[in-house]
C-alpha cells in the first residue's frame, strides 16, 4: 500500500508531465492559458516557466497562494467558477486550460466536473488543450492518449 507521500509524489510527477506535454502541443497556438484552481500556486508557477511570454489567468474561490506564486491582480479572478468563468467570455479564446479541482470527495468532484466542462469549453480555442486531474466530457473534446500508470490525469484536444 502506498503512503500519502507516495501518492503526492505520483500526483505531482504526473501533473508536471501532463503540463509539459500540453505546453509542447500548444506552443504555436495563440491565446491565454487558464489555471482553474490556483490553490497554493505550484502549477501556476510551473506554467509561468513553461509559458514565459503568454498571459496566464488564474481562477480560484479564494487566494491561498503566496505572493511569489500568485498572478498580478489583472490575471487573478476570485469567486465561484460558475460566475467567474462565464465573465471571461469576451477575451481571446484560450490555448490551454488546466483544471486542478480534485479533492478527496469523489462525488463532489464528479458533480463539479459535470458543469465545469461546459464552462471551460466555452472559453477554448479550436485546437486547444484541456488538462485536468478529473475526468470531464464535452462534445468538442477528443481524449488524447496519456500514459498515467501512477496517477490519473486527463488531456483533451478541443475540436
The CATH code of the domain that includes 20 is 3.40.50.150
User: Nearest to residue 156, comparing CAs of 7, 139, 34, 148?
Assistant: 139
CA 153 to CA 150: how far, in whole Å? Answer: 10
* 3-class secondary structure, 36: strand
- Which residue did the predictor score with more confidence, 130 or 109? 130
Looking at the 3D structure of the chain, how many domains does it have? 1
Would you say residue 12 has pLDDT above 80?
yes
Predicted structure pTM score: 0.94
Give the tens place of pLDDT for each residue, 46-92: 999 999 999 999 999 999 999 999 999 999 999 999 999 999 888 89
Mean predicted lDDT score pLDDT of the chain = 93
Interstrand relation of 76-78 and 56-60 (parallel, antiparallel or unpaired): parallel
Q: What angle do CA 139, 39, 127 make, to 5 degrees?
A: 30
CA 106 to CA 126: how far, in whole Å? Answer: 30
State the residue range of the domain holding 10: 4-158
Would you say residue 28 has pLDDT above 90?
yes
CA 133 to CA 141: how far, in whole Å? Answer: 16
Residues near 60 by Cβ (< 8 Å), separated by ≥ 6?
37, 38, 39, 78
- Calculate what percentage of the chain has a pLDDT beyond 90: 83
- Which residue did the predictor score with more confidence, 101 or 16? 16
* 3-class secondary structure, 57: strand
Q: What angle do CA 138, 35, 159 make, to 5 degrees?
A: 30
Amino acid at each position: 500500500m502506498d503512503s500519502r507521500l507516495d501518492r503526492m509524489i505520483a500526483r505531482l510527477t504526473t501533473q508536471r508531465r501532463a503540463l509539459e506535454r500540453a505546453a509542447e502541443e500548444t506552443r504555436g497556438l495563440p491565446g491565454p492559458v487558464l489555471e482553474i484552481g490556483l490553490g497554493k500556486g505550484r502549477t501556476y508557477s510551473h506554467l509561468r516557466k513553461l509559458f514565459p511570454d503568454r498571459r496566464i489567468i488564474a481562477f480560484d474561490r479564494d487566494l491561498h497562494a503566496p505572493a511569489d506564486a500568485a498572478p498580478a491582480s489583472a490575471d487573478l479572478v476570485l469567486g465561484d467558477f460558475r460566475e467567474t468563468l462565464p465573465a471571461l467570455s469576451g477575451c481571446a479564446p484560450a490555448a490551454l486550460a488546466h483544471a486542478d479541482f480534485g479533492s478527496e470527495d469523489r462525488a463532489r468532484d464528479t458533480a463539479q466536473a459535470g458543469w465545469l466542462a461546459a464552462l471551460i469549453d466555452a472559453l477554448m480555442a479550436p485546437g486547444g488543450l484541456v488538462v485536468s486531474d478529473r475526468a470531464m466530457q464535452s462534445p468538442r473534446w477528443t481524449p488524447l492518449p496519456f500514459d498515467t500508470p501512477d496517477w490519473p490525469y486527463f488531456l483533451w484536444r478541443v475540436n
